[in-house]
Structure formats: structure tokens, C-alpha cells
A and B are shown apart, each in its own frame.
Chain A
Amino acid sequence: MRRLLARRMKFHLFGAFLVSLGCAAIYKFGVAEPRKRAYAEFYRNYDPMKDFEAMRRAGVFESAPPK
């Protein structure tokens, strides 16, 4: 029964620190890094004009009709 609050507090402080650190790490390596990689991959060999012509051919533009 000695140092009842101190023991509990130490345990919970430690745990809270680890849990929040873990959450941040999981988000970073589960969400943030894959997303950054996906964007890098997409824009590595991206040709905007080719994409535009494909969209124009599909007929989605009002101001740039398909030829």
C-alpha cells in the first residue's frame, strides 16, 4: 500500500507515453510513408499533356472538345 498514487502514476505515465509514441509510429509507417511513396511513384514518369489528351478524347471537357 506504500506510495499508492506514485506507483499508479508511474505505471500510467509510462504507459501513456508508450501508447502515444506507438500510435504516432503506426500512423507514420502505416499511412504517411506509403502515401509519400505513392505520390512519388505517380509523378515519377507523369506526362500531363498525355493525360490531358486522354481526358479530352473521353469528352469530359467543355472548353476543349474532342477533335
Chain B
Amino acid sequence: MLASRAFSLVGKRALSTSICLRAHGHAGVVKADDFSLPAYVDRRDVPLPEVAFVRDLSAQQKALKEKEKASWTALSADEKVELYRIKFNETYAEMKKGTNEWKTVLGGVLFFLGLTGLLLIWQKHFMYGPVPHTFSDEWLSAQTKRMLDMRINPVEGISSQWDFEKNEWKK
């Protein structure tokens, strides 16, 4: 109920703004926001973006643009580079160049892994109780003997590592 009331208020406000502008007549074109105009992008798969990089040219650059309309052989190398930089932000080489971000990422990951390790050590020392009695050495050796007696995994597993004739682990 409240939400619909608020929504209708917003709607009324937007409606009144556009009506105002239309009423003025001469200001029939709303100033377009930057995000709704075609934009410049540095992307490998967009070789010719929709607009040039530099939007507002200085006087010097405007003069250069005039010179560009004449024969291009008259342009010096520096002027050609300047014209390129007006149109494009980065060259393909600059675009494709890698960053060193991976080092930061790897460092962060390892750091937090280490922090977690410290946390686990603290937990084992201060928080957890003793392990069950079935982990004691006597129990484990009795358990292993029973597994060998039963010939558990005789082909590739534990019983294949025991020499039953000599009664010892295979070398």
C-alpha cells in the first residue's frame, strides 16, 4: 500500500518534468546523460569504437583536424601520432599488455590460507577435546592385523603390501 503510494508519487514527478520540458518547446531536446550516448571502449574485438576518444578538442587539436582534411603526406609523424591519440585511447599493444594483478591475487589467497592454518592450530590446541580411543596405536595395529587377516583389498590395496609368508610388509 505504502509502496504503491510512493511509486505513484515518483511517477507523477517524472511525468511533470517531461511535460514541463515539452511545454517549453525550444528546449525540446533533453540533455542526454553520458551513459545513454554512444561510448568509447578499449576492446580487442571492437577495432573502431563508435566515438573518438577525445570529445572536446583544444584549439591546437582543432587546427590539426583541419590539416587532416588536406593531403596526409603533409603531416609529420608526431602529428599523425597526435591524430591517433585523439581518436584512440590505448594502442592494441597497450590494450593487450598484462597487468601484475595475478601477484596480488595469489598473495592474498596464500595469506588468507595461512591465516586459516593458524586458526586451525589454535583450535586444535585450545578448543578440541582428545581424539577417540580407536586412534591409539594399540587399537590401530590390532585393526590393521584384522584387515590383513580378512585379506582386505588383496589385488592393489593393503593386503597386497603385506608378505604373508614372512609376516612382514613387502619391501
Contacts and interface: CB of A to CB of B under 8 A. Distances in A.
B47 A1 contact: yes
A54 B164 contact: yes
A42 B164 contact: no
Interface string A15-51: 0000000000000000000010011001000000001
Nearest to A57: B149
Contacts of B154: 42
B15 interface: no
B101 interface: no
Interface residues of B, number: 13
B150 A60 contact: yes
A59 interface: yes
A60 B156 CA distance: 21
B120 to A, nearest CB: 33
A4 B44 contact: yes
A60 B154 CA distance: 16
A58 B154 CA distance: 16
Contacts of A35: 156
B155 interface: yes
Nearest to A54: B164
B149 A60 contact: yes
B146 A60 contact: yes
Q: Which 8 A-B pairs have the closest CB atoms?
A: A58-B149, A42-B155, A60-B150, A60-B149, A38-B156, A38-B155, A39-B155, A55-B151
